[in-house]
Structure 1
Amino acid sequence: MSSIQVSDQTFIAAAPEHIAAAVARPDRWRAWWPDLAFTVREDRGEKGIRWAVTGPLNGTMEVWLEEMLDGAIVHYFLHCEPTGVAPDRVGQLDLATLNHERRVAGKKMTFEIKRQLEAGRAAGEPPQDRPIGR
């Protein structure tokens, strides 16, 4: 099991392909996770994207899009180890805080996309079929 292990989900009332396009923008990765570097391991199109992660953490991250009702559930997974910390010292870190910080970063990402893609949509109304501008 990874020391940093985040699993979260958020529903977005928008077409999965629009969500995928928003997630796949490398210029946004640095804004969402400024200290991490990413290598795309698998671009799954409207199903999401998987990365190898380096920087202060080393491991993997995934955003998986599960089509649901009139949108998609955005599943966010992060499985990493702190870089430069000996395995016998990892237990001395404040892992609860480190995990919390990464969970919050994932929520900021999904809520930013949610705000943009659902902008102007009244509750209970169908999604507007428009991508986020580049």
Structure 2
Amino acid sequence: MHGLDLADDTFLAVPGDLVSAAVAEPAFLRRHWSELVLRVYADRGVKGRCWTVDGPLHGTMEVWLEPVLDGTVLHYYLRVDPVGPDGRPLDLTPAARGRLARRWRIIGRGAALELKLRLEAGREPGLAP
């Protein structure tokens, strides 16, 4: 089990292929996870992507895209261990682990909300995507 196991879900009122293309943009990844080294190990097209994570965190990150009604639910998972400069796992206090989890939860939520605002821009509420 990883030291940090985070998950979040966001509904986007746009088709999955648009979300998938946006998630694959290198600039999008750099904006939100610039501290991390992300390497794609599974490109599932309209179903999402999986990355290995290196840097101050070590583990995996996943975006799973699920078609729902007239849009897509973006499921975000970050399963990692914090590591020191030497690559060894850090033994954090519960308070420090909580702060770190909150920080990466906010980053993941910010990424999902950026996509939501950008991809839904100009769409009137209640209208089809």
Indicate whether 1:23 and 2:23 are aligned.
yes
Quote how far apart the aligned CAs of 1:30 are. 1.1
CA–CA separation in structure 2 for the residues paired with 1:35 and 1:88 = 17
Equivalences for residues 46-85 of structure 1 within 5 A: 46-84=46-84
TM norm structure 2: 0.92
Take 1:34 and 1:4, find their aligned partners in 2: how far apart are those partners? 18
Over the aligned positions, Cα root-mean-square deviation in angstroms equals: 1.6
Equivalent AA in structure 2 for residue 116 of structure 1: R
CA distance in 2, matches of 1:93, 1:31: 27
Please name the residue that 1:124 is paired with: 126
Indicate how the Cα distance of structure 1 residues 71 and 79 shifts in structure 2: closer, same or farther if over 3 A, else same.
same
Runs of 4+ in 1 over 2 A off after TM superposition: 84-93
| Structure 2 residue aligned with 1:131 | none
Deviations 1:15-57 (A, max 9, x none): 1000000001112111111200111000000000000000000
- Structure 2 unaligned spans of 5+: none
User: Which residue number in structure 2 is paired with residue 40 of structure 1?
Assistant: 40
